[in-house]
């Protein structure tokens, strides 16, 4: 029996308006970055969110954190829909819902010392009366966090430009932990790093999860990274979730044609297996996300499409043992 969901996303949509005109602007359409997705994140697990660039992964994380206001749908955190909360109510929720951003060079303020960057969330919550912490406790907390992520506490008076990319991402992770959150939304946290450094950061995040009981939404486009860190994996295409399954099951038995194509593109570090593998080459390009669709989003590129796929939209359906897929090949 699956554990109770810590976060439930229900029919989440986030559309960005397309405007025309310089002075008198009018809306002429919308980019459907996230177009009606539903999934859950269970306590203590890592849900990997994977898909090609531009499919809506990062926008999904930002919509969950309410950095972008969703167009429609619900984000239920610990039983409360957080999409319509007041500023103070949302601040309380964000204490348990923090983000690690993709670019460690752009996500840290270059004019602040590392110590100030890590302590800033604590000071903001003190300012709004949501935390009561003495000044000495803040310094102790910063020292502990720096050493826990593999940085010397004696570096806290240095500035971000004095650190490497991997060290900067460690600073970002320390900042995300400053308020003792329950959930970390990790938006491609290792994609800008060298492979050897990626392994260090992934191992650090796994250790922190075990030590602190964290729950992760982990976004990446590197399938090897997703396989290594994820408990379950959700596959996203053109703003829709097309398949969700436990990590081991998804890699052994992908059901959606897009998932099959995605996995076939990932190299296997075994020459004998690699010789026998068949690469699935998809035809055409990803369609524009500014069109409303009533049929399968993958129809234009699917090598297994049927007549039904052109007229109807497959729903994400349970096909057994915690495996969901949105494809008429398995749900018709």
Q: Where are the alpha helices (DSSP H) in 177-296?
A: 195-212, 223-229, 247-252, 257-264, 271-276
- Domains located in the chain, CATH noted: 5-86+183-196+207-331 (3.40.50.300)
pLDDT (average), residues 287-302 = 91
pLDDT (average), residues 138-165 = 95
pLDDT at 332 over 70: no
Nearest to 187 by CA among 169, 168, 161: 169
Per-residue pLDDT, 136: 84
pLDDT band at 3; cut points 50, 70, 90: low
**Between residues 258 and 280, the one the model is more confident about:** 258
**Between residues 4 and 292, the one the model is more confident about:** 292
What does the alpha-carbon distance between residue 68 and residue 59 come to, in Å, rounded to a whole number?
A: 8
Q: How many CA atoms lie within 13 A of 13 on its CB side?
A: 14
Per-residue pLDDT, 266: 78
Helix (H, G, I), strand (E, B) or coil at 172: helix
pLDDT (average), residues 194-223 = 94
Per-residue pLDDT, 1: 40
Which helix (H) or strand (E) segment is 309 a member of?
A: helix 307-311
For the full predicted model, state whether its pTM sits above 0.75.
yes
Instruction: Please give the mean pLDDT across all residues of the chain.
Output: 92
């Amino acid at each position: 029996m699956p554990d109770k969901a810590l976060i439930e996303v229900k029919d989440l949509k986030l559309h960005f308006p397309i405007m025309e005109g310089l002075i008198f602007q009018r809306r002429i359409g919308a980019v459907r970055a996230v177009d009606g997705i539903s999934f859950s994140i269970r306590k203590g697990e890592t849900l990997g969110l994977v898909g090609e660039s531009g499919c809506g992964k990062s926008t999904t994380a930002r919509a969950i954190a309410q950095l972008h206001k969703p167009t429609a749908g619900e984000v239920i955190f610990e039983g409360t829909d957080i999409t319509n909360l007041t500023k103070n109510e949302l601040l309380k929720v964000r204490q348990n819902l923090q983000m690690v951003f993709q670019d460690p060079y752009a996500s840290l303020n270059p004019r602040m010392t590392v110590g100030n960057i890590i302590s800033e969330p604590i000071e903001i919550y003190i300012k709004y009366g949501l935390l009561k912490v003495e000044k000495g406790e803040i310094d102790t907390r910063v020292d502990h966090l720096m050493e826990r992520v593999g940085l010397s506490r004696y570096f806290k008076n240095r500035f971000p430009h004095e650190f490497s990319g991997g060290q900067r991402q460690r600073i970002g992770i320390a900042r995300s932990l400053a308020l003792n959150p329950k959930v970390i939304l990790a938006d491609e946290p290792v994609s800008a790093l060298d492979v050897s450094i990626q392994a260090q950061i992934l191992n650090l995040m796994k250790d922190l999860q075990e030590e602190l009981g964290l729950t992760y939404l982990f976004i990446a486009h590197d399938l090897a990274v997703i396989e290594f860190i994820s408990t379950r994996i959700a596959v996203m295409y053109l703003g829709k979730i097309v398949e969700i399954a436990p990590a081991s099951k998804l890699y052994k038995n992908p059901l959606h044609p897009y998932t099959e194509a995605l996995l076939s593109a990932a190299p296997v570090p075994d020459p004998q297996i690699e010789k026998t593998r068949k690469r699935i080459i998809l035809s055409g390009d990803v369609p524009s996300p500014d069109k409303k669709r009533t049929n399968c989003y993958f129809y234009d590129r699917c090598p297994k499409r049927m007549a039904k796929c052109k007229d109807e939209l497959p729903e994400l359906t349970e096909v057994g043992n915690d495996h969901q897929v949105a494809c008429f090949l398995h749900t018709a």
